Structures are given as structure tokens and as C-alpha cells.
Structure 1
Amino acid sequence: MMDIDDDDSVSSWSMKSDQMILYRDEEIHVDNDRFLDQHLDSLYEKRSSTRENALSSIIEGFNSDLQHEFVDRKFATLLHQCLNCIKRGSAREISLASHVIGLLALITGPGDKATEIFRESVTPISQALKTGFEASKTCSLLYCLAIITFVGGNEPEETEASMQLMWQVIHPKLGSNVVATKPSMAIITGMVISWSFLLTTMDGQTLDSKTWQGSISYLSTLLEKDDRPLRIAAGESLALIFEIGSLEKFCNEAKGHSNGSHQERRESVHIQGMRSKILNQVRNLAAEAGGKGSIKKDLNRQRNSFRDIMEFIENGYTPETCTKIGGDSLKTFTWSQLIQLNFMKHFLGGGFIKHMQENEFVHEIFDFEPKRKLLDDENLTCIPKRWYKSPNSAMSKTRTQTLNKQRMQSQDRNVGHFAVGFRDE
């Protein structure tokens, strides 16, 4: 009887303890909502610095908690105030507003809200990309465009249209009122990173060959630039293109009026020539010696990255990585997964761990199930769903699984393919 009484006492205390935790969590959520409401109101202020401070605080709030209740209540208001900041704000305000919109898309996940974010934001972002070439502003706009397209773009044509907008930052369509401006290395790097992130979602067979002819040649020239982050971004982008296949869609067309078979031979020779050139560049960068003023950390990162790229081109082996997320491990096995992971790390910054642990859409992207979530799922009966579950799972799961399957199939097709091609030469 003493044992039973003790058990009942422990059980009673446990229930009271759980209730106390729930009440405390409810108070925290209320405080967070009030905190964000105040900063949302500040976005109506005329002083630019006030709006900038409010945007910074909203970003901090989204990095510390996914804020689903606030997003549910004030989604449309926050989106349109951020779009107003992009239309009229300073470079810093545009950068911050772009980041908030990207976070908003990740928190809502695929669905009607993400589609609205995408469709409402594309035009203001594309217009802002044409006004000045301040690096942090332009890169923030590019990253935002990548995220909202990744989450809210429902059709391949929409994704490819966003990729074209990115490409035009580097290769603008010149008209009578357009002055060619040479973008900085940082902007080119941001464009390549964002473009590659969206390319991970595309099936090579669906790409428009006329749009991307010559892109491999351009990326190859970036390997020769005196900027290591740019070289690495370009190298990983090239590795991704090899992984998804359909190389002819990214190479220059062989000109001439030859018959079909002769034309195909010329195109094949051209593609093999590009492969050989890229492999030689990759080998050199994988073994580059440190020069005067060289930062050892950057040099080692470049060497390691290009050794992985060389191993893939020569033997078809993709790098396997393992990232620690709290007590969990997130593994990648393809270039597509690695590029997506690196983009998320860069975009989320201090909020990366929080999203990896609690954002169900991010879980689906990487097929990642953290132990912390599994433990929480055992206590669902005492925790209201709105406190632990984001409203973004059902729609995205099929789409994400399909994309992952396409990437794995591409990898299987290409294993050993490049090595054979180069040995035949």
C-alpha cells in the first residue's frame, strides 16, 4: 500500500509539474507575441532606423522560436509591411526585410501562405535587384528569392523563372535605359549560391536548354577568379550540374548546318572538352599552394572542397558529410543535399539549430528526425498541438520525397560515368 501511495503521489506531482511547465510556456508565448506585435507596429514608423531596429528584433524572435501563433495571426500584415520596406527602405532595411520574408516562408511551410508570399514578393524583389549593387542588400534579396521560390513555387516553370531573375543580376538584359554595372565578387558568389540552391530542385530533363546554354562555360571562368568563396560556390555548382545530368543543356550549342549525326558528334566533342577543362581546373585548385597573404583556413577549405569535386568527376563518388544538431547527426550523401544544407546554414545563421530541431518542413527537406522531437511526441496528450507542430507537413512531404528520389537516381546514373568518359579521352 505504501508503494501504491508513493506512486500516486509521484504521479500527482508529475501532473502538477507538467501543468506548471505548460502555464509557464503559455506565458512565454504571450510575452513573445506582445514583443513581436510591438515591433510589427514599429514598421509603420517614418524613421528608417526605427524600422530597421524592429526588423532586427523580429529576426531575433524568429531565430529563438518559430512563433507559429504570431505568424498565424499577423502573417499578411508582416508580409506587406516587409514588402513596403523593400520598396522604399535603405539598403540595410531592404536586407533585413528580405530576411524576415524568407524566415516567414520557412516557418509557414508549403501551402497557401507560402504561395502568397512567393507571388506577392517576386515583383518587388526583382525591381529591387535592379536598383544599385550594394553587396549585402543584393545578396539578401537573392537569398530571399531562393527561399520563397523553394517553399512557395509550385511549378518547375516558376522555379526556372526565379533562376533567370538571379542570372540577370550578373548578365542583365541591356536596353536603352540600362547601364551595365560590374557586380562585385560577393554579389556573384551570392547569385551562384542562390541559383545552385534552386537547381537542386530541378529535373535536368525539364530545363529550358536555350536559357542555360553557356552556363557551364561561365561557371568555369569563375574558377579562375582570385576569390576563394566564389571558386568554391562555382565548383559545387558545376558538381551539381554533373550530378543531375543533361550536360548538353548547360553547354554552348555547336553552330553550323551539319546533319543530325554530325551535329551530335560535334556537341559531344564540345561537352568532353568542357569536362576536360573543368577537371584540370579542379585538380589545380585542389592542390593550390598558399601564396603571400593567403589565409590558411580559406585555402584548406578550398583544397578540401575541390578534392571532393575531383573525386566525384573522376570516380563518381559524392562526399558524405555529418553535421551535429544537438545530440543528433544529420548526414548528406549527394551534392544536392550538401548544397541545400550549406544554404540553410548560411541563411538561418543563429537560428539554424532551432529550425533543424523544430521546423517540420526542414525535417522533411533533409529526411531528419531529431531525438528531441521523438521525445516530445510521447507527450502529445498534454501539449496543445499549436505549441509543438508547425502547420506545414502534409503538402510538402510528397514533393520533398520526390525531389530526394530524383537526386538519388541521378547519382546512381552518374556513378563511374565521368571516370569512364575521361579515361576514354
Structure 2
Amino acid sequence: MPRSRRAHAARRGGRGARSSAKAESQASDDEAASEVLSHCSSASESTSVAEEGAGSDAVDEQAQQEEVEDKLKECIDNVTDKSTRTRQLALESLRLAFSSKTLFDFLLERRLTLTDSLEKCLKKGKGEEQSLAASVLTLLCLQMGSGPEGEEVFRSLKPLLISILTDSSASPVARQSCAMALGMCCYIAAADVEDLVSCLACLEGIFGTSCPEESSSVPTHHSPLLQTLHCNALQSWSLLLTICPSSQIKKILDNHLLKLPLLLSSDNVNLRIVAGETIALLFELAHELEEEFFYEDMDLLCTKLKALATDSNKYRAKTDRRKQRSIFRDVLHFIENGECHEETIKFGLECMYVDSWVRRRMYNAFKEVLGSGVRHHLQNNELLREIFDLGPPLVLDAAAIKASKISRFEKHLYNSAAFKARTKARSRVRDKRADVL
């Protein structure tokens, strides 16, 4: 199923001398945590220099690559260290490295060792260590892809992720990361429909507690940490919707198009936003199944969406209001007109169009996991390129890379011209306003 499922998703688209010593130790720890990433960055820089410069730089590039791998091997060994601090630093370094580079060949022969180490961190660690371990697990699965290697990683740790996620006594931070890890790893490497259905049910059991009881119209109040957990669970659940078979989508539409609008009344802005985006996603999937799909409570739903799209309540933070209005304008426009806001993602010499709620959920999920490394993976990770229909990674020669770069002087000229054009346009608008007044 992994390959056919993936193709299906692609189509859908931290007194006195003592405190001083402690501060120095903390600083050195922070430096250690980012050491692997800095080596990865320097290796990347040397790669571009090698492409532009002399052949002798290839030797330096090989040396840099070997240095990066030595650092990664050390980090993998440190994941099982006796010191909690050392383990956390190693996990953070691995997280940074895995999100910024594609390391399939390096990790292929080390995945079982690393999986066993992550299992120990999830079982015996607490809070932050468990959270980091779940994040590294997600990235390991992403590096391995949807083949037997990724499936093996997911299958071995899926029960443990579900155990932590459903344990109300576990750390909320750890549960949040496990919710994201379960959704993403299932999306990448689920072997069959049974795996998918069980993960959907588990995630639904988490965010479902935010829905009001039948006799109430107000969502149950939870602490901010639990609201974040429910938000993560709903995001992962909606990601898995994009790979559900039609028969499963029909059941979900019947059960959730009445429940999810209730979350629009949540006092947590992020939960409201994710609920709105999920509703739009469900409508899109419904129209794919049935072109003339009809929703009975459309008027009530649109009234709620309009209120959120124009919300000006002063008790909400200004940034929250702005973000909410922007998202819900898009949701409302899609529900009423069937048109999705299009976004263009540029990476290297390529670009990708996010023109549906399915592709939007997929892209946002990878961006949340990879951070700033998402563009590198879009360029080089075969899994992402297949999911988003980008084809094989481009092989560019030095001349093409050099030709694609714009000099600082050219950028300055372009920005100056754009500034002048904006100033003229605004001046004309101001003049018209003055005339009216």
C-alpha cells in the first residue's frame, strides 16, 4: 500500500563563581546542540563553492562530508548516554541535522540502532526528552521514505506513540509531539488501511474531547497545554484524511461535518483556525466524491465563518485577530464559491503551486516538521518530490546555478524601482481621497 497510497496523496492533491560556571556550561551546551547543523551548513556552502570554483575544492567537500558524518555518529551514540542532558543535546542535534539535510544513505545502515535508541528515550525519558525523541523519529521516517525501511521504523514504534499519546498522566509536551509523529509517520509509511484507521481513531479520541457534549453548545474548556495537544491531534487527523479511501471519507463526512463546526466556538485561536481549515478540507473531499454535494446547515456554518472572518473583539490579541481573519476569509470564500486561495512556493530554480486544501494541509504538515529545511527537502528528498508531483531531483551544472543568481546591484535596482512604483500608486490613491474629502 505505501507506494499506491503515496501516489494517491500526490494526486490529491534552556551565586557568584558558581552561577558563572553554570552560565558558561549552558553556553557550551547550546553551542554543542547546534554544532552538527553548523557543520551541515558549512558543508552546504562548500558544495556551492565547489560547483562554482576549482576542482581542488572537491577534496575539501569530501573532508567536510566526513566531518559531518563523524559528528552524526557521535550524536547517535550519545542518544543512549547516562546523562539526560547529553541525550537531549544529541537528540536536538539530530533533529537539526535531519531537517536540514537529506541523509538516506547514511541512515540506511544505522536506522535499526537509532530506532532502538529512540524507543528507550520514549519509554524511560520524561517530558522534553520524549518530545525530542518523537520529533527525531518523525524525521527518521521522513528520511527513510515510504518503502520497507520507513514502514519498519513506523511499525516498530507505533504502539509506543499511541501509548504515550493516550496516557493522560504523560507530559503534555511529549503527547503533543507524539500526536504529530503518529500522523506524519502513518501518512508516510502506513502499510495498510488498518494502520490508517487505527491512527485516525486514536487521534479523533484526543481532539474529540474539545467538542461540546450533546446538551451543550460551548466546547469543553481545557488548559492551554491540552488545547495545543488537541490542535496537534486535529492537524494530524486532517493530514490522514488526504490519503483515506473514498469509503472511509463517506463515514467521516457523516460523523464530523456536524461536530467540527462546534470547535469554531473554542477560546483557543489555533484550535479555531485548524477546525476551520479542516472543515474546508472536508468540503473539498466531499465535492470530489459528489460534485453536487449538499450540506444542510450551510447557512449557519457560513454565519459562523463570516463572524470569525470579520472578528474585531478587543479582548483578542491583535496578531490573533489578523491571523484568524485571514484564514477564515479563505475558508469562507471556498465554502461559498469553491475557489481555493493559491500560494506559490519557490525553492532553488523551481516553484510549486499550492492550489487546494489537500495540498495546503500536506505542505503545512511538512513545513511544521522540517521548518526552514522544507525547501531543501523539496529540492532533494525523493519522497516529497513524489508526493507533490515534482519529478526526480534536478541535476544542475555550475553554469546553470551561477546564471540563476542575481547580483546585489541588480537586486538593489529592482527594489528601488518597485519602491518608486508603490510610492506613485499610493500618492494617486491619497490624492483621490483628498478630493473626496
TM-score by length of 1: 0.72
State the alpha-carbon separation in 2 of the partners of residues 337 and 310 from structure 1.
Answer: 18
Residue 53 (structure 1) aligns with: 89
Q: Does 1:375 align with 2:396?
A: yes
Q: Does 1:168 align with 2:210?
A: no
Among residues 104, 120, 130, which one is paired with 2:166 in the alignment?
130
Post-superposition Cα deviations, 1:290-340, rounded to whole Å, max 9, x if no partner, equal: 413x33332222112111111111111122111233454321111000111
Q: Does the 8 Å CA contact 2:253/2:286 hold for their aligned counterparts?
A: no
Number of equivalences: 336
What residue identity is the alignment partner of 2:120?
N
What residue identity is the alignment partner of 1:375?
L
Residue 351 (structure 2) aligns with: 329
State the alpha-carbon separation in 1 of the partners of residues 145 and 103 from structure 2.
Answer: 13
State the alpha-carbon separation in 1 of the partners of residues 153 and 398 from structure 2.
Answer: 30
State the alpha-carbon separation in 2 of the partners of residues 24 and 303 from structure 1.
Answer: 51
State the alpha-carbon separation in 1 of the partners of residues 349 and 51 from structure 2.
Answer: 27
State the alpha-carbon separation in 2 of the partners of residues 100 and 339 from structure 1.
Answer: 21
Residue 201 (structure 1) aligns with: 243
Among residues 291, 308, 312, which one is paired with 1:289 in the alignment?
312
- CA displacement at 1:373 relative to structure 2: 2.8
CA change 1:208–1:47 in 2 (3 A) is farther
Q: Does the 8 Å CA contact 1:160/1:207 hold for their aligned counterparts?
A: no
What residue identity is the alignment partner of 1:56?
E
Residue 314 (structure 1) aligns with: 336
Q: Does 1:272 align with 2:314?
A: no
Written as runs of structure 1 = structure 2, the 5 A alignment for 1:143-292 is: 143-171=180-208, 184-207=226-249, 209=251, 213-245=254-286, 272-292=295-315
3-state SS of paired residue (1:81): helix
- CA displacement at 1:15 relative to structure 2: 11
Q: Does 1:109 align with 2:145?
A: yes
Written as runs of structure 1 = structure 2, the 5 A alignment for 1:17-96 is: 19-96=55-132
Gaps (5+ residues) in structure 2? Answer: 1-49, 210-219, 401-437
Among residues 343, 358, 362, which one is paired with 1:340 in the alignment?
362
3-state SS of paired residue (1:311): helix
What residue identity is the alignment partner of 1:169?
I
Post-superposition Cα deviations, 1:53-89, rounded to whole Å, max 9, x if no partner, equal: 1100111221332223320221111111111111111
- CA displacement at 1:277 relative to structure 2: 2.3
Residue 419 (structure 1) aligns with: none
Q: Does the 8 Å CA contact 1:125/1:145 hold for their aligned counterparts?
A: yes
State the alpha-carbon separation in 2 of the partners of residues 282 and 205 from structure 1.
Answer: 28
3-state SS of paired residue (2:265): coil
CA change 1:158–1:207 in 2 (3 A) is farther
3-state SS of paired residue (1:214): helix
CA change 1:109–1:74 in 2 (3 A) is same
- CA displacement at 1:151 relative to structure 2: 1.1
State the alpha-carbon separation in 1 of the partners of residues 310 and 161 from structure 2.
Answer: 40
State the alpha-carbon separation in 2 of the partners of residues 278 and 148 from structure 1.
Answer: 33
Q: Does 1:364 align with 2:406?
A: no
TM-score by length of 2: 0.70
- CA displacement at 1:193 relative to structure 2: 0.8
Residue 156 (structure 2) aligns with: 120
Post-superposition Cα deviations, 1:151-196, rounded to whole Å, max 9, x if no partner, equal: 1113233222211111122348xxxxxxx99562211111111111
CA change 1:296–1:327 in 2 (3 A) is farther
What residue identity is the alignment partner of 1:205?
S
- CA displacement at 1:115 relative to structure 2: 0.8
User: Root-mean-square deviation (CA), in Å?
Assistant: 3.0
State the alpha-carbon separation in 1 of the partners of residues 151 and 329 from structure 2.
Answer: 39
State the alpha-carbon separation in 1 of the partners of residues 126 and 297 from structure 2.
Answer: 42
- CA displacement at 1:47 relative to structure 2: 2.0
- CA displacement at 1:208 relative to structure 2: 7.1
CA change 1:208–1:272 in 2 (3 A) is closer
Farther off after superposition, 61-70 or 301-310: 61-70
Percent identity between matched residues is 26
Q: Does the 8 Å CA contact 1:290/1:296 hold for their aligned counterparts?
A: no
Gaps (5+ residues) in structure 1? Answer: 1-13, 173-179, 250-267, 380-425
